[in-house]
Amino acid sequence: MGKIVIKRQSLTEQIKSILIDRIIAGTLNPGDRLKELQIAEEFGTSQAPVREAIRSLQALGYVEHLPHVGAQIKTFSQKEIEEAHQVREALEGHSLILANVEIETLVEELNKHTKTMHQAMSENNNATFSMADNLFHRTIVESSGNKQMLSIWDSLRMQLQVIATIVEAATPLDKLYALHPPIVASLKRKHRENAGRFLAEHYREIGTYWDTLS
Amino acid sequence: MGKIVIKRQSLTEQIKSILIDRIIAGTLNPGDRLKELQIAEEFGTSQAPVREAIRSLQALGYVEHLPHVGAQIKTFSQKEIEEAHQVREALEGHSLILANVEIETLVEELNKHTKTMHQAMSENNNATFSMADNLFHRTIVESSGNKQMLSIWDSLRMQLQVIATIVEAATPLDKLYALHPPIVASLKRKHRENAGRFLAEHYREIGTYWDTLS
DNA sequence: CACCCTCATATTATCGATAATAGATAAAGG
DNA sequence: CCTTTATCTATTATCGATAATATGAGGGTG
């Protein structure tokens, strides 16, 4: 029966998602402090669920927590961002080898995303481009059929989203776009190792752009 | 001055480490429930720090939490263990490519661990073997100079420690041992790609042993 | 002026108590 | 005898209040 399930979410969960939304939306910026009681007052709750929400944001890598001092939205050093890129490259590269699904299906889906990128590029729509770019890479990891791998990949999203926006604002989208079709093309020919090489090339280039910016 | 710093750790931290110790030591087994008030009573604290400690164990992947039901030590399915292996292979493989340190130094350290393994093997000391095996692989990831990669690798320890013990108890240590020297040998000749291949071989074999056991 | 205290203040960490919930058990109805 | 509904119980989730702590301001001292 199509009974509507009203999911009673705990306060902690609700607060957590609101805070995450704010971080992603940029209402909360890196460096901002999260004061438990202040937030509690805003939501009309006690300190406890806010505190728990913050701790769980910490586990997700959104905030940094110092004992007896408090939490603040995490700022990412250049080194950390480089590291995150390397981890992603490792995961994506290995996913290409594992790829469980039909290569055809994977290629098709990847093509969908490159098309979106292409479209966004011609409209100079950075937000859409960024999203499609993200989905492209996520699709690769998804194809491994390894949930943990995907969840780890996702956990790095926060750090990289920041820089992605910056890089994509400062770099010609066509150059970024051009890094993707070769990967798909290699896959289409079932040359997984080659696809891996183009993936490495992709990350090498991103690194270069990032370096020139910072 | 050599003044001894008594680190005043928060109750949460203390409880957390005690619980982790118990999980690793096997005092707490997969499936066991963690009841907040019961643990609180044992430690003579209130519910709050226990609850926080448990949530942080959850973040670390040691326990599973169900709303309004509670937490229990996580049990790992075969699928999850396989996934964890794949993630480790991805990270180690990419670390071999990144390896920042002098290859010589790396080779030397890896040799140290293979020697320990060899020694433990001849004494049929599974515990030592397992530890050296672990260190061997951890050293590889460490050599990448990527802290996040190492910390993710570490986070998979829990799941794999369980199976490592089982596999190593049931598989001739010499077969397991034999999988490592080729990796070092390739590295010594600066053939990183080859080293990667032997690493893949290593994980393939472990997977085989694991399959026959379950 | 630099340094080391002391104290005030803002905020986290912890407490003990209560409310809310899931799951088990018993009762009711067909 | 089975199914559904009500009640009970163990436990988590949340509350409001208090204790403990870090940080910064001021004030004294060399």
Q: Which of A194, A80, A4 is nearest to B151 (CA)?
A: A80
Asked if A59's CB is within 8 angstroms of B86's CB, the reply is no
Beta carbons of A149 and B90 less than 8 Å apart = yes
Q: What ipTM was reported for this prediction?
A: 0.84
Q: Is the pLDDT of residue B212 over 90?
A: no
Among the partner residues B10, B55, B87, nearest to A149 by beta-carbon distance: B87
pLDDT at B4 over 50: no
Specify the nucleotide whose C1' lies closest to residue A68 (CA).
C12
Q: How far is the CA of A78 from the C1' of C1 (A)?
A: 39
The residue ranges of every structural domain in chain B are 11-73, 78-213
Chain D: positions less than 7 Å from a protein CB are 11-17, 20-23
Report yes or no: A55 at the B interface, CB cutoff 8 Å. yes
On the question of pLDDT at B92 being above 50, the answer is yes
- Is pLDDT above 50 for B86? yes
Q: Name residues 129-168 of chain B within 8 A of A (Cβ).
A: 144, 146-149, 152, 156
How many residues are given for chain B? 214
What per-residue confidence (pLDDT) applies to A4? Answer: 37
More confident residue, B158 or B20: B20
Q: What is the pLDDT of residue A7?
A: 45
Work out the average pLDDT over B159-184: 85
| Domain boundaries B78-213, corresponding CATH code | 1.20.120.530
pLDDT tens, A110-151? 999 999 999 999 999 988 998 999 999 999 999 999 999 999
Contact call for residues B200 and B93 (beta carbons, < 8 A) = yes
Tokens of A63: 């905030």
Check whether residue A48 has its CB closer than 7 Å to nucleic acid strand C. Answer: yes
Report which of residues A165 and A139 the model is more confident about. Answer: A139
Asked whether residue B17, judged by its CB, lies under 7 Å from any atom of the DNA or RNA strand C, the reply is no
CA geometry: angle A84, A90, A93, nearest 5 deg:
135
Average pLDDT value for chain B? 90
Q: How many CB pairs under 8 A join A and B?
A: 72
B87 contacts in chain A (CB < 8 Å): 91, 146, 148-149, 152
Once rounded to an integer, what is the mean pLDDT over residues A73-87? 91
Judging contacts by C-beta atoms under 8 Å, the chain B residues touching residue A58 are 59
Number of Cβ within a 10 Å radius of residue A203: 19
Predicted pLDDT of residue B8 = 67
Residue contact B84–A148, C-beta within 8 A: yes
Answer whether A139's CB lies under 8 Å from A109's CB: yes
CB contact (8 A) between residue A83 and residue B146: yes
Per-residue pLDDT at B25: 83
Tens of pLDDT along A41-53? 999 999 999 999 9
pLDDT higher than threshold 50 for residue B3: no
Rounded to whole angstroms, how far apart are CA atoms A89 and B115? 32
* Minimum CA–C1' distance nucleotide for A9: D13
Give percent of chain A with pLDDT exceeding 90.
68
Rounded distance between C-alpha atoms, residue B135 and residue B110, angstroms: 9
**Where does the pLDDT of residue A76 fall: very low under 50, low under 70, confident under 90, or very high at 90 and above?**
confident
The predicted pLDDT at position A158 comes to: 75
- Which band of pLDDT confidence, cut at 50, 70 and 90, is reported for residue A168? confident
pLDDT, tens only, B106-117? 999 999 999 999
**CATH code, residues B11-73:** 1.10.10.10
Nearest nucleotide, CA A10 to C1': D13
B14: contact with A, CB 8 A cutoff? no
Least confident range of A20-24, B47-51, B68-72:
A20-24
Give dist(CA A159, CA A85) in Å, integer: 9
Q: Which residues of chain B lie closer than 8 angstroms to A16, CB-CB?
A: none
Higher pLDDT, A101 or A2: A101
Do A93 and B90 count as a contact with CB atoms less than 8 A apart?
A: yes
**Angstroms from B173 CA to nearest CA on chain A:** 28
**Residue B167 reports pLDDT greater than 50:** yes
Cα A87 to Cα A93: distance, rounded to the nearest angstrom: 10
Measured CA distances, B137 to B18, B62, B130, B144 (Å): 26, 21, 11, 12
What pLDDT does A214 receive?
Answer: 67
In sequence order, the 6+-apart residues with CB closer than 8 A to the CB of B163 are B76, B81, B210
Is any Cβ of chain B less than 8 angstroms from the Cβ of A111?
no
CA A8, A9, A10: angle at the middle one, nearest 5? 120
Q: pLDDT-based confidence at A3, cuts 50/70/90?
A: very low
The alpha-carbon gap from B56 to the nearest alpha carbon of chain A, in Å, equals: 8
| Confidence (pLDDT) at B171 | 81
Chain C nucleotides close to protein (CB under 7 A) are 11-17, 20-23
Answer yes or no: do B90 and A86 touch at CB < 8 A.
Answer: no
Contact B129, B81 (CB under 8 A): no
Q: Report the pLDDT averaged over residues B91-103.
A: 90
pLDDT of residue B94: 96
The pLDDT value recorded for residue B6 is 40
Highest mean pLDDT among A117-131, A145-159, B2-16, B30-44: B30-44
pLDDT confidence band for B213 (50 / 70 / 90): confident
In angstroms, what CA-CA distances link B192 with A86, A176, B86, B91, B135? 17, 28, 19, 14, 19
User: Lowest-confidence range among A3-7, A120-124, A204-208?
Assistant: A3-7
Distance from CA of B17 to the nearest CA of A (A): 16
**pLDDT score recorded for residue B77:** 87
Over chain A, what is the mean pLDDT? 90
Contact of B169 with B120, CB cutoff 8 Å: no
Q: Is the CB of B47 under 7 A from strand C?
A: yes
Which of helix, strand or coil describes residue B71?
A: strand
